[in-house]
């Protein structure tokens, strides 16, 4: 039985290998930073594809806060929240996240994946409707699939299509527009002011997953809502602690106190899965504090993103347009993206190529992500290396 299963799995894996789409895992032997030590390379490489937007993943204060919490609370709660797993540090981080999101309340999960898949089926039942952007993150898609509500998908950022779907769902008890703030594979941002206006017009709620927006978008890094000046107008914001906010893990849902009270009662990961470890909550608390204390970090991130984007364009690349810290370059098929990523690695730049099934075949890409901690010299090196590899492979 088992041998047959393995054989069948091997057939699938061999097909991926033949198509050149098999992912390789690189092994990092130290902390995530602008440079990491990679086992395979026997040395340091520049990282341009982490979500460590603010450079806080190995910030000494973020690390120290985690260690202190480990001493104070031990390794974890050994419990879900409602049994015996609600520690004071949970209350502290949830207050901080609610303030950051301009909402009354917030509730943590062990990841944003858990937050989205725990939120959407809990609030959207049989009598309800979900209208989601076609390019939403997989966790929002799975959250919608797991809900009993009627599901509609609107063309990416197409407000006319969204409005047509809104007009279609008359009679539903609750209706939610579901969108990413920053779309992770494109790096473009949701048309939030239009979405908020449509939500008002049709009296429906908005769920905004701002995982790539928090710490990145807006003057103070409060996210896509700050960027557009619509803070406090989003019903439900979800996000991750695993990107700009320390980079460890953890996610949250921010919204009204009523919403949080309700999720505490019925959201399945809250009832059946362990609470967020205290160490991570404390590290993320420190990350939020640094974000608020050092607005210069967000400014620097914005300046670095511009420099990367302009430098790539000046060298003949055509990155997708956008205002986030994600700068994707479409290179064609999956195998080619993987090849380019290998070439870059041999020159000392670590950037993973994305292909099918993460993005549609033919639109494989290298997704460059900026980090506030990158030095000017590192950016110059990156641009020169991109030019060298781009020329060698005939991309520019
Ligand atoms: C990264 C990401 C997630 C998943 O976050 P985790 O905390 O790592 O589970 C969810 N939604 C979006 C939009 C993301 O970019």
**Span 25-52, pLDDT tens digits:** 999 999 999 999 999 999 999 999 999 9
**Catalytic annotation, pick one of 59, 90, 137, 243:** 243
Q: Find the angle CA(252)-CA(353)-CA(12) to the nearest 5 degrees.
A: 90
Which atom of ligand 1 lies at the shortest distance from residue 249's CA?
7
Taken as a whole, the chain contains a residue count of 396
Residue 331's nearest CA partner among 307, 357, 367 is 367
Quick check: is 212 catalytic? yes
For residues 230-254, average pLDDT:
97
What is the domain partition of the chain in residue ranges? Answer: 19-48+295-392, 60-293
Of all residues in the chain, the percent with pLDDT exceeding 90 is: 93
Position in ligand 1 atom list of the atom nearest CA 209: 13
Q: How far is the CA of 155 from the centre of ligand 1 (A)?
A: 21
The per-residue pLDDT for range 111-144, each reduced to its tens digit, is 999 999 999 999 999 999 999 999 999 999 999 9
Q: Would you call 184 a catalytic residue per the annotation?
A: yes
The pLDDT, as a whole number, for residue 333 is 87
pLDDT tens digits, 271-329? 999 999 999 999 999 999 999 999 999 999 999 999 999 999 999 999 999 999 999 99
Q: Write the burial class of residue 203 (CB in 10 Å: 0-12 exposed, 13-18 middle, 19+ buried).
A: exposed
List 47's β-bridge partners, or say none. 350
Strands (E) in the chain, as ranges, are 35-38, 43-47, 105-109, 129-133, 150-154, 175-180, 205-209, 236-240, 251-255, 326-332, 349-350, 353-354, 364-369
- 27 assigned to active site: no
Three-class SS of residue 182? strand
pLDDT at res. 1? 62
Tokens of 88: 């004071």
SS3 (DSSP) at 298: helix
Distance CA 34, CA 342 (A): 18
CB 319 within 8 A of CB 283: no
- Say how many Å lie between the CA of residue 177 and the centre of ligand 1: 18
Given this structure, which CATH class describes domain 60-293? alpha beta
- The CA angle 78-81-84, to the nearest 5 degrees, is 55
Q: Which fold has domain 19-48+295-392?
A: 3.90.1150
User: Is it the case that residue 365 has pLDDT exceeding 90?
Assistant: yes
Of 128, 125, 201, the C-alpha closest to 162 is: 201
CA-to-CA distance for 40 and 300, rounded, in angstroms? 31
Q: Which listed residue (111, 184, 205, 211) is catalytic?
A: 184
Q: How far is CA 373 from the centre of its chain?
A: 19
Give SS3 for 256.
coil
Model confidence pTM above 0.95: yes
């Amino acid at each position: 039985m088992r041998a047959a299963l393995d054989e069948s799995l091997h057939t699938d894996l061999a097909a991926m290998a033949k198509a050149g789409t098999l992912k390789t895992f690189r092994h990092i032997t130290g902390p995530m930073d602008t440079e990491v030590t990679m086992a395979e390379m026997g040395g340091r490489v520049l990282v341009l594809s982490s979500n460590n937007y603010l450079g806080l993943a190995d910030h000494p204060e973020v690390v120290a806060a985690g260690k202190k919490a480990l001493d104070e609370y031990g390794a974890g709660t050994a419990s879900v929240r409602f049994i015996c797993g609600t520690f004071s540090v949970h209350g502290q981080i949830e207050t901080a996240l609610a303030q950051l999101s301009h909402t009354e309340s917030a509730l943590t999960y062990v990841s944003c994946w858990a937050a989205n898949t725990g939120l959407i089926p809990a609030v959207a039942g049989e009598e309800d409707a979900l209208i989601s952007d076609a390019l939403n993150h997989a966790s929002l898609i799975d959250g919608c699939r797991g809900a009993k509500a009627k599901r509609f998908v609107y063309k990416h950022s197409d407000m006319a299509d969204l409005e047509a779907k809104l007009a279609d769902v008359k009679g539903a008890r609750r209706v939610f527009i579901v969108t990413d703030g920053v779309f992770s594979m494109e790096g473009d941002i949701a048309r939030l002011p239009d979405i908020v206006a449509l939500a008002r017009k049709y009296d429906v709620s908005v769920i905004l997953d701002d995982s790539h927006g928090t710490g990145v978008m807006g003057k103070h890094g409060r996210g896509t809502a700050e960027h557009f000046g619509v803070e406090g107008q989003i019903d439900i914001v979800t996000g991750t602690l695993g990107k700009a906010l320390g980079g460890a893990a953890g996610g949250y849902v921010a919204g009204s106190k009523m919403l949080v009270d309700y999720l505490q009662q019925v959201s399945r990961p809250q009832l059946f899965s362990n609470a967020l470890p205290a160490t991570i909550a404390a590290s993320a608390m420190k990350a939020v504090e640094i974000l608020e204390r050092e607005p210069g970090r967000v400014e620097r991130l914005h300046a670095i993103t511009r420099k990367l984007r302009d430098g790539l364009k000046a060298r003949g690349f055509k990155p997708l347009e956008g205002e986030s810290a994600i700068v994707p370059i479409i290179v064609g098929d999956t195998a080619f993206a993987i090849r380019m990523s290998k070439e870059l690695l041999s020159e000392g730049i670590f950037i993973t190529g994305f292909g099918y099934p993460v993005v549609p075949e033919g639109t494989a890409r290298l997704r460059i992500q900026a980090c506030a901690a990158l030095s000017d010299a590192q950016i110059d090196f990156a641009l020169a290396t991109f030019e060298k590899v781009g020329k060698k492979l005939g991309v520019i």
